[in-house]
Structure 1
Amino acid sequence: MRELSVMKQAAREAGTILLEMQGKIVAREKGPADLVTEADVAAQHCIQRVLEAEFPDYGFLGEESDSAGGTVSESCRWVVDPIDGTTNYVHGFDNYSVSIALQQEAVVAGVIFDPVHNRMYSASLGGGAFLNDVPIRTSDVGSLDKALVAASFPPGVQREAVEVKHFVEVLVKCQALRRLGSAALNLCYVAEGKLDAYWATSLKIWDAAAGLLVVTEAGGSMSNIEGGPVNLAKPRLIVASTDSLLKEMVDTLALVTE
């Protein structure tokens, strides 16, 4: 699809900006422990310019502006996170990405670009998932004791928070547990079989829209934390390589009460 090609172009151009600006930026807080940088803003402006030049009638929903340009109607809009993993970016930790999704009620296309390692993940609805144009699939791991798992926490999580209890509960049951700092890349790592499962409780639509399409098109399973459908507007989600691992993750998190 033509949109997917333009999305890749926009992601690559934004990635070039991020690489050029890393180490030269000033960060400011937009909330407790939540950083935004000049690079976020510059990358989003670049993405919007590229997309709007080809598709001027599409709406645009970006993390750094919420609604910039056109309408934010779900009937046809871009959903953009210019840096997914801003804290990693600020600290020079090379695990961050550019995420762009096309939503037409459902998400129909998504790209996630890791500029440091030149890794372009992409998917279209019904068209499969790819890494640098090579098809990818999830692992076949079906049980938590054999699974490498990742988690995302909200900024400023407290010691008594349910997220910490979830973390401990999974930690003692899985093979290993990671907290890597980029939700979009975590989803892609499940899609390509590097990770076997991932869960998060406080994502925004721009964190998850593209990545969820990539992981499901790669054969992965997903649900909300309680095992029901994912609400993309407020994603509290689990993704896993297999249905059996997803069920075990849901059951494990259900052991924790707030």
Structure 2
Amino acid sequence: MTAEPAALLTLAETTAREAGAMVYQRREAVERMDVAATKSTPTDVVTESDTAAEALIRDRLLAARPDDGILGEEDGRTAGSSGVDWVVDPIDGTVNYLYGLPHYAVSIAARVDGVVVAGVVHNPASGETWTATAGGGAYLDGRAISVTGCDQLGMAMVGTGFGYDAQRRARQAAVLLELVPVVRDIRRAGAASLDLCAVAAGRLDAYYERGLQPWDVAAGALIAEQAGATVTGLHGAAPGEDLVLASAPGVVDELRSLLERLGADRDTP
């Protein structure tokens, strides 16, 4: 079975749109959503829509490609034998979804031998869909997109996010206090995949966050990179749970150096 990125993207996009329609309809059908479970803390929630959407996504992917593996936020890892695995976040921005904020996404990425080659991020509330394949550029609703040309940190619009653990949030707030005076402004929207896509589309000049998991990042990071962003960690590390930074090239060095000095990849000063 082919592992050609374009074919993998077609399957990912079709599946993301179907899952997105389901979670949108479920959200619109009720005034308030119920919390089905919690994860790392009482504020880190799962709704029944998260689990239903991941089940749908797994069914569609494995029906089309039964030998592939899947890594999903809700149901963990299913081993495969094809060399292709899928990294799935059925609802990125679950707290936004819970509160009726129209900023959440279905995120699906395809990896071949551990390398992300295709990704889609679909916002069911807005209908917007970001896509990319390795070496093929990045697109928003079929239109090619690229990062900004911002080359002054003082003019940079920077996105970020916060963890659920209270100690980590306090540390992240301390970093933010030092960052606010030296950039244009800060935005915190609550869905990492959409923040990465915002960098790709030029809606943010940069975005950073500590504590992200593979399903938060896989599709959005590819989209940002294919739009021309630099996606990196700190202190020479690859982007990962310690920190993910996605930035327009013109400000990445200065912003990375500042985040390193502030210890943005640590939970203690």
Q: TM-score range by the shorter chain?
A: over 0.9
In the other structure, the counterpart of 1:57 is 67
- State which of 253, 256, 264 in structure 2 corresponds to 1:247: 253
Q: 1:235 Cα shift?
A: 5.6
Unaligned segments of structure 1, at least 5 residues: none
Q: How does 1:9-158 map to 2 (within 5 A)?
A: 9-22=14-27, 23=30, 25-27=33-35, 28-32=37-41, 33-68=43-78, 70-71=79-80, 75-104=83-112, 105-158=114-167
In the other structure, the counterpart of 1:164 is 173
CA distance in structure 2 between the aligned counterparts of 1:40 and 1:108, rounded to whole angstroms? 25
- What are the superposed Cα offsets for residues 45-84 of structure 1, whole Å, 9 maximum, x if unpaired? 111111111111110110001124x43x894200000000
Secondary structure at the counterpart of residue 172 of structure 1: helix
Secondary structure at the counterpart of residue 159 of structure 2: strand
- State which of 216, 224, 229 in structure 2 corresponds to 1:215: 224
Measured on the aligned residues, the alpha-carbon RMSD in Å equals 1.7
Query: 8 Å contact 1:208–1:235 — kept in the other structure?
Result: no
> Larger deviation: 42-51 or 207-216?
42-51
How many residues end up aligned between the 2 structures? 253
* Paired-residue identity, %: 35
Unaligned segments of structure 2, at least 5 residues: 1-5, 264-268
Query: 8 Å contact 1:225–1:250 — kept in the other structure?
Result: yes
CA distance in structure 2 between the aligned counterparts of 1:216 and 1:192, rounded to whole angstroms? 11
Q: AA paired with 2:261? A: L
Secondary structure at the counterpart of residue 189 of structure 2: coil
Q: Alpha carbons of 1:138 and 1:21: their partners in 2 closer, same or farther (altered >3 Å)?
A: same
> Larger deviation: 118-127 or 24-33?
24-33
CA distance in structure 2 between the aligned counterparts of 1:75 and 1:158, rounded to whole angstroms? 39
In the other structure, the counterpart of 1:236 is 243
Q: AA paired with 1:149? A: V
Query: 8 Å contact 2:137–2:144 — kept in the other structure?
Result: yes
Q: 1:159 Cα shift?
A: 8.0
Q: 1:227 Cα shift?
A: 4.4
Query: Under a length normalisation based on structure 2, what TM-score does the superposition of the two structures give?
Result: 0.89
In the other structure, the counterpart of 2:233 is 224
Q: AA paired with 1:37? A: T
Q: Alpha carbons of 1:85 and 1:146: their partners in 2 closer, same or farther (altered >3 Å)?
A: same
Q: AA paired with 2:198? A: Y
CA distance in structure 1 between the aligned counterparts of 2:196 and 2:71, rounded to whole angstroms? 20
Query: Under a length normalisation based on structure 1, what TM-score does the superposition of the two structures give?
Result: 0.93
